[in-house]
Amino acid sequence: MAARSAAVLLLAGVLSVMLFAWGVVGGGCDRRADRDAGGVITVEFWTLALRGNSDLERYITERIAAFEAQRPGVKVRWVDVPFEAMDRKLISAAGAGRAPDVVNFSDKTYARFIGLGALRDVKALLPGDADARFVPGALALGKMGGKVLALPWYLTTQAVVANEAVLSEAGMSAASLPKDWRGLMKAAREFREKVGGEGKSGGKYLFSVPLGHESDLLMMMFAEGLTPLKAGADGRLRGNLTDPAVVEMVKGWVELYRDGAIPREAATQGSSHLADLYQNGRLGLINIGPNFLNRIADQAPGVFETTRVGMPITGELGRGHVAVMVLGVTTQSTHPKEAAELVWFMTSEESQEKFCAVVPILPSTSGSLNKPQFTDKAAATQQAREVLRLEAERLKRPMREPLEKTVEAGLIAARALKDAVAYTPALEGWPDMRRSFEDGIKRALTGGEDVGAVLARVNGEWDRILSASSGGATVEALPRVDREVR
């Protein structure tokens, strides 16, 4: 416990340094006044892990050239940063007063930097209406307190992949199974009774989810209409893990694991165990990205043959989770207008549709999702064929034809995206809060600790992390889950 308290104090110190870097505490450093010459405005644009793929490099280079052609006198300096280096490089640049103008964040990294005051409100700088352009559930991540702090760039979401051969062993089928987590938990017990778990029938299970490492439990709380956080009397967020409904929900999953209805890997391994167990014929179904089907076809053709695809499993709200990559303008930008214009350009329908023609991702623009390549099987197959052609040329290997099931899963994911939500709170301490939660849940899963006691302890740790954060987070930081679609 003392070690955890020390860690919280260390976090507070680190955050203070980061706040100073952004000029939130004690004023900022002089911004790169010497970078522009001859009247040319240079906008520095940082992306996440896009170099190394020649097709992506050509795409980004072409889009930048198109942007510059529309805005004479504006130049874009593109810098690509590896995932694991972004936090360190961005904090270092900010400390020197040289943060980039535009930054590409993952939803989890964005959550930390929002609380540090790293991003500027671009609502008044945008050339158009963000609400009219973007998928609501994706845009909501970037909207706080009437401000627009980031725009969604590209998205990934999931579909259900079901092995009818495994399901049939319990007299089940993909069509007959519940489409929500609670119903699926009940069905998992029935499957175990009929087929058996560890040590029986090859250790087969109805499904699995990551519970202890890369845990989906917090996401599923929001999806069920529950919240692990609530506002205190002062309006600041506090932990809400001791709420009876939250405790009951977590206890249900822990008991499902302890009773052997989901595999042991759920406690200690992340999402990678889903693919491994499924292609080995040990799971009846999983929620996973559509392109996983290509891997099944290559490594487990027998499993692929009996695989069917469907809409993703959801919580009580009937809304799936979407992972969001965002673009934001930093508070240190000396050219916020031009930076906001670049963000608007890169997130346009045209730019995103070109992006989706290079790699298998989904756009955040509502209008794009109504286009044939995201709604029509023939058009989607043609786009998939173009992506595979580019891949084959880049890797210098024979081209493979699009798989019908992969195309179908992609269309399903695009359809589900319209009502999906980014279940990631925009909290600077969220990564640390997740780690604290996962450490506690692992002890409940594998060490037999009481769920209520574990959640109470984690709740206290959360409150210390939240109290150490800058300014105090409010309910504006929570995912928008205010309407049901079921």
Task: pLDDT tens for the chain, 486 residues: list them.
Answer: 444 544 444 444 444 445 445 554 334 444 444 456 678 999 999 999 999 999 999 999 999 999 999 999 999 999 999 999 999 999 999 999 999 999 999 988 887 888 778 999 999 999 999 999 999 999 999 998 889 999 999 999 999 999 999 999 999 999 999 999 999 999 999 999 999 756 554 699 999 999 999 999 999 999 999 999 999 999 999 999 999 999 999 999 999 999 999 999 999 999 999 999 999 999 999 999 998 999 999 999 999 999 999 999 999 999 999 999 999 999 999 999 999 999 999 999 999 999 999 999 999 999 999 999 999 999 999 999 999 999 999 999 999 999 999 999 999 999 999 899 999 998 888 989 999 999 999 999 999 999 999 999 999 999 999 998 766 678 888 897 654 443
pLDDT score for 472: 66
What is the per-residue pLDDT for 485? 40
Same domain, 212 and 341: no
144 falls within a domain = yes
Residues 130 and 175 in one domain: no
**Whether the predicted model's global pTM rises above the 0.85 cut:** yes
In a domain, 410, yes or no: no
CB 364 within 8 A of CB 324: yes
**pLDDT number for residue 254:** 98
Domain housing 128: 19-154+324-356
Residue 364 lies in a domain: no
The token pair at 356 is: 């989706």
Helix intervals (H) in 237-282: 244-258, 265-268, 272-279
Note whether 300 and 435 are same-domain residues.
Answer: yes
* pLDDT score for 11: 45
Is 422 part of a structural domain of the chain?
A: no
Contact, 462 vs 436, CB < 8 A?
A: yes
The whole-angstrom separation of Cα 470 and Cα 468 is 7
Q: How, if at all, do strands 74-81 and 41-48 pair? A: parallel
What's the structural domain count of the chain?
2
> Three-state DSSP class for 484?
coil
396 falls within a domain: no
**Are both 312 and 446 inside the same structural domain?**
yes
Residue 111 sits in a domain whose CATH number is 3.40.190.10
Do 173 and 310 lie in one domain? The reply is yes
CA distances from 27 to 21, 80, 101, 149, 388 (A): 9, 28, 18, 21, 50
